[in-house]
Structure formats: C-alpha cells, structure tokens
Structure 1
Amino acid sequence: VFRSEPPDDLSSEKDRVRVIVRVRPMNTREVDKGDRPILTCDTETSILVDGPQHSRRFTFDAVFDTNSAQ
C-alpha cells in the first residue's frame, strides 16, 4: 500500500525503515524521443509526480535530484 503521508502510529525510530529516493536524469534515448520528466524534487523530502490526470506528492526520508552523484 502506497501512502503519500506516513501513518500516525509509527514504531520507534530505531525500528523504522528509512526510504531515500534518487531521481535519475533522463537518458539519451528518452531525450531523443522527446520524453519529458514527470518527477520533480519538490523539497529535500518530497517529490511531485505529474500524472496525466493530476499531480501527487510523496514524502520520503530524503530525496536526491538529478544533479546528485550516485
């Protein structure tokens, strides 16, 4: 089950699984096809997914944008 907000009943901090997202840059094939990015790093902890019908924001422990090194 995917949630855009964490549940209120989080377990203790030491038992928590941390989720970190890295948005990769578009590759040459995607650029050549004229594709456009649908993910935007909104803040240091959230991304905005620009879907065909509507946009959704998802929050994580950390988010790294396309300029971040692996």
Structure 2
Amino acid sequence: MPGLVLLEGARQAAALATGGALTRPVACRMKAIRFTESYPPAVVECTAHGRTCVFRLRQAGICTAVGVLQYL
C-alpha cells in the first residue's frame, strides 16, 4: 500500500480515538518497517498524548509501520 494510504488510516484512527478532537494534523513522521499488503487487513493502533498521536500498523500480528501525527 502507498504510504499516503497508511497515513490516512492513522489520521482516521486518531480522529476516532479522540472523539473528533484531533482531525487535521500539521506534521507527521512515519517509518515503514515492512511492506503493508492489501490483504490481510492491517490494524491501526493509535494513542493520543496531548496534541500528538503515536500510531502503529500491524498486519497478521507483525508491525509494518510506526509513526506520529502532530496537531495544533
């Protein structure tokens, strides 16, 4: 999957995790550890820390990408 698709998934997970409080990131950083395939579905784990959200994508239990989204 393209990196932008992974970032959009992380952005949506952050919005969901914060009840819509964090929806428009102003900066981001992501490291793709492995290639994320279209199947099986990837799971996005996201944790908010103030005005930042850290995220991890897992596919079949294996971490494929990690990163952080920053908000104003």
> Which has more strand, going by share of residues?
2
> Which has more helix, going by share of residues?
2
Q: TM-score, normalised by structure 2?
A: 0.24
**Structure label with greater radius of gyration:** 1
